[in-house]
Structure 1
Amino acid sequence: MYSVIPYQAAYALSVSQIFHEAIHAIDDLQYSPAHKAAWSAKPRSSYHWHKRLSRSRAWIVVDTSQIVAGRPKCCGFINLETRFYSLGYIDSLYVHPEHQGNGLARALYEGLELWAKDRGYPELSVDASILSKEVFLSYGFKVKHRSYQEKLGQVIMGFLMSKSL
């Protein structure tokens, strides 16, 4: 049984592992091994992820039927920037490869959208990867333009997308 809950510091290491494993599970035809290594050479520290998620509004999805280290297993996460200069920007949406295809990304996104609407956010935006572009289109986002991020000498293509709320 899955449940979406607010992010907690105890899950920072799980978030790091999910991010890294989700990146490296991408088919090499979508993003090359060099792109994936630049995107996530190795799992980042739990300190990094806790700091990143604590400075935004973040949720995780847990599997309550699997207990790891005394708490439900984390299977995915999403976070939304809440500061003025990036208000409404979805920074991350990742689901562990073993749990993809079970509606977890949608559950995370729907919780985020409801939270944003309740607070009067006029718009959400995201830099979607080639893979997540279709996911965000299914949530009603529109492509504004292609986007490019340089990471460790690799240029990774994506799409800047937005949705009015």
Structure 2
Amino acid sequence: MNNTNLSIIAFSSEFAESVSQLVHDCVQSIEHPRYNTEQLNAWSSAPRSKKHWQQRLQRSQSWLLVADSPATEAQKVVGIINVETHFHSRGYIDSLYVLPSLQRQGLAAKLFHTLESWAQAQNYTSLSVDASYLSKGFFIKQGFKQIQPSYQMTKNQVINGFYMKKELAD
């Protein structure tokens, strides 16, 4: 990503297709002994529809990490985070993905801090997440505590994770 500037912007439906491709690419690039090919394909066998991501992200508070390319004047989605805002799961972090080639550069933390600042301004008392084996360490560094093991059952595959929570300061 030479000659690009990275910025965080609010989700806009024009980026839904790019988000879908990003999430799929991130899942399919996972190399971890706890996730086999069948689990990764159950998690994301192909990019979801543009409509799926438009609906999913418009019913939550969502931010994108975009790379601005001066050469093309286009923005490329290289990261996403979103938090549920409705009553039942208010404060639940639904998605956090960063392009594999840009991981381990502090970009997920920048996305998270944007979300956390927003949540504090909204008087949220806590944030929660079902972290994967890959993201558990990241969330611990952000101050989350593991509450219990968790799992998702999708397409006859069990995808294990960890339900974690962070109390927000008053």
| Structure 2 length-normalised TM | 0.93
Give the letter aligned to residue 105 of structure 1: A
Q: Give the corresponding residue for 1:59.
A: 63
**Is 1:95 aligned with 2:80?**
no
Q: Give the corresponding residue for 1:132.
A: 135
> Closer, same or farther in 2 for the Cα pair 1:106/1:21, shift >3 Å?
same
**Is 1:81 aligned with 2:106?**
no
For 2:17 and 2:108, locate their aligned partners in 1 and report how far apart those are by CA, in whole Å.
19
The one of 15, 28, 31 equivalent to 1:27 is 31
For 2:126 and 2:70, locate their aligned partners in 1 and report how far apart those are by CA, in whole Å.
36
Asked if structure 2 preserves the Cα contact closer than 8 Å seen for 1:66 and 1:73, the reply is no
Moved more, 91-100 or 109-118: 91-100
Q: Which ranges of structure 2 fall in alignment gaps of 5 or more residues?
A: none
Runs of 4+ aligned residues of structure 1 deviating over 4 Å after TM superposition are none
Asked if structure 2 preserves the Cα contact closer than 8 Å seen for 1:39 and 1:151, the reply is yes
Q: Give the corresponding residue for 1:115.
A: 118
Q: Secondary structure at the match of 1:108?
A: helix
Tell me by how many angstroms 1:28 deviates: 4.5
Q: Give the corresponding residue for 1:36.
A: 40
Q: Provide the aligned length of Structure 1 versus Structure 2.
A: 164
Per-residue CA distance 1:144-163 (angstroms, 9 max, x = gap): 00001101000110000000
| Structure 1 length-normalised TM | 0.95
Q: Give the corresponding residue for 1:164.
A: 167
Q: Please tell me the root mean square deviation across aligned C-alpha atoms, in Å.
A: 1.2
Moved more, 59-68 or 153-162: 59-68
Q: Which ranges of structure 1 fall in alignment gaps of 5 or more residues?
A: none
Give the letter aligned to residue 131 of structure 2: A
Give the letter aligned to residue 31 of structure 1: Y
The structure whose residues are more often helix, as a share, is: 1
Tell me by how many angstroms 1:49 deviates: 0.4
Per-residue CA distance 1:105-136 (angstroms, 9 max, x = gap): 11110000000001100000000000000010
